[in-house]
Amino acid sequence: MIETDSNPTCIKVDEWLRRISAVVAPESEPVLRRSFRRYSVTGEVKAVGCRDDGTPFRRTWTLLQVSAEGLSIKSEEPLPVETQLELAVNIDGNPMPVRGTVVHCTQTLGGYKLGVRLHFPA
């Protein structure tokens, strides 16, 4: 897990919801398209994962949007769907450790947009 000064273990979903609700901007799309609304935020995501060949990597990405169960991230390189990640999501100056799985990777102008489904402990 990515170590942070404040908490090296994954946060629970109620803490995630409390923290994102304190910083979110108005909805960026209607709720009708998705199970949960997405919110535009300013932030950074530090990630640790493994490539298909087992080689570990560390990256820092720009956070685009958050929702109750996921993230939208801008990356300079593509990642395969199903890549498992350990993340430190910083939207308020206090990084939140979470785990996630890449669910889509779309090439966009200037990079790639990654959709990451978050996994919270019970």
Selected residue with higher pLDDT from 33 and 110: 110
Q: How far apart are CA 110 and CA 2, in angstroms?
A: 27
93 is a domain residue: yes
C-alpha distances out from residue 116 to 5, 6, 96, 119, Å? 24, 23, 15, 10
Flag whether pLDDT at 3 surpasses 70.
Answer: no
Q: Which structural domain, as residue segments, surrounds residue 52?
A: 13-25+38-119
66-88 pLDDT tens trace: 998 999 999 999 999 999 999 99
Q: How far apart are CA 107 and CA 78, in angstroms?
A: 8
Mean pLDDT calculated for residue range 34-63: 88
Flag whether pLDDT at 94 surpasses 80.
Answer: yes
88 is a domain residue: yes
The closest alpha carbon to 83, from 92, 94, 75, 91, belongs to 75
Question: Which pLDDT band, with edges at 50, 70 and 90, does 108 fall under?
Answer: very high
> What is the count of structural domains for the chain?
1
